[in-house]
């Protein structure tokens, strides 16, 4: 049975009871419109925690584009049914006033790792993420939190945040879940037209080509330029960034001198897609 809880006070009571009984609490923060990627996180939480909370909150502070916020899919009844099937204990679905009550005045800002890539193209995005994640960690009092590697930079930001602020929670990164044609699962994929959906896997295809070229010794500049051409030729409107970065800390790399990650953001019709792979 999955309970829906909408207030911080009710959640605190529930979690206090669990903790009195010695339970380890896992949390999966989400913005809803759940897909198999989210469910894989819920399963990882279920497998290694006594109690599992999935939070669903479309956080207005992390949207720099009002259209993206307005169009973000909301599917609570379906989300609840999916979480029941996964044996999740609580769906925590607070409203905006519960998370940001009148007078709310704090912003959590993580320097460095927040700044390039998504940070450069979506001003304020990671301040919004860091602020809401800090709130959700405080509200849920969980001992473990599960995040998808699909948002690799977000995972780095959250790791930095909990280390810097001594937040007593273990951050677990879980692999990206992909459709059978390679497209990374995302709540935004439902907004692709049929024609765009057919083009979308080219993003991951281009990352794979670049990774192969880099491993074969092609200079990063050439490998990345060829991959960008591949993405545009497939039908994407633009490539916002396509970069080779150190997997930890995200320093820019010009060759495979450290464990690395290729990260990309590109626009397909009305939808902005991101992806990343290890190299
Ligand atoms: O990855 C997401 O869905 C969001 O950025 C998160 C972590 C739930 C914070 O709103």
As annotated, the active-site residues are: 38
Per-residue pLDDT averaged across 137-147, rounded? 98
CA–CA separation, 192 and 137 (whole Å)? 32
CA–CA separation, 104 and 91 (whole Å)? 24
Per-residue pLDDT averaged across 117-134, rounded? 98
CA–CA separation, 263 and 153 (whole Å)? 9
Distance 56 CA to ligand 1 centre (A): 9
Cβ–ligand 1 distance for 134 under 6 Å, the answer no
**Nearest-5° Cα angle at 40, 38 to 44:** 120
Cβ–ligand 1 distance for 29 under 6 Å, the answer yes
When pLDDT is cut at 50, 70 and 90, the band that residue 40 belongs to is very high
Residue 159: predicted pLDDT: 98
Residue from 266, 210, 196 nearest 238 by CA: 266
User: Mean pLDDT over all residues of the chain?
Assistant: 97
Residue 248: predicted pLDDT: 97
Residue 126: predicted pLDDT: 98
* pLDDT tens per residue across span 158-167: 999 999 999 9
Distance 85 CA to ligand 1 centre (A): 22
* pLDDT tens per residue across span 66-103: 998 999 999 999 999 999 999 999 999 999 999 999 99
Residue 61: predicted pLDDT: 98
The answer to whether the beta carbons of residues 203 and 265 sit under 8 Å apart is: no
Residue from 135, 99, 139 nearest 14 by CA: 139
> Ligand 1, from 30, 124, 130: best to mutate by most atoms within 8 Å of Cβ?
30
Residue 156: predicted pLDDT: 98
pTM score, two decimals?
0.97
Distance 277 CA to ligand 1 centre (A): 19
The DSSP output letter for 185 is P
């Amino acid at each position: 049975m999955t309970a829906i809880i909408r207030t911080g006070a009710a959640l605190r009571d529930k979690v206090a009871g669990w903790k009195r009984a010695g339970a380890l609490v896992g949390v999966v923060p989400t913005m809803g419109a759940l897909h198999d990627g989210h469910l894989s996180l819920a399963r990882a939480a279920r497998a290694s925690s006594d109690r599992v909370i999935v939070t669903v909150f479309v956080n207005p502070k992390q949207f720099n584009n009002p259209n993206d916020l307005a169009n973000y899919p909301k599917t609570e009844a379906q989300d609840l049914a999916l979480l029941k099937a996964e044996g999740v204990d609580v769906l925590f679905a607070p409203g905006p006033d519960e998370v940001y009550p009148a007078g709310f005045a704090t912003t959590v800002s993580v320097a460095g790792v927040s700044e390039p890539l998504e940070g450069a193209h979506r001003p304020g995005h990671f301040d919004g993420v860091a602020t809401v994640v800090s709130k959700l960690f405080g509200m849920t009092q969980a001992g473990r939190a599960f995040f998808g590697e699909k948002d690799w930079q977000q995972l780095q930001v959250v790791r930095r945040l909990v280390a810097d602020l001594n937040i007593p929670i273990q951050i677990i990164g879980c692999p990206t879940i992909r459709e059978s044609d390679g497209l990374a699962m995302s709540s935004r994929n439902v907004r692709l037209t049929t024609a765009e959906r057919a083009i979308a896997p080219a993003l991951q295809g281009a990352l794979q080509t670049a990774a192969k070229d880099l491993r074969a010794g092609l200079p990063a500049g050439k490998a990345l330029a060829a991959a960008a051409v591949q993405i545009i030729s497939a039908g994407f409107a633009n490539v916002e960034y396509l970069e080779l970065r150190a997997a930890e800390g995200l320093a820019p790399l010009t060759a495979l001198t450290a464990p690395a990650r290729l990260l990309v953001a590109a626009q397909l019709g009305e939808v902005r897609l991101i992806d990343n792979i290890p190299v």
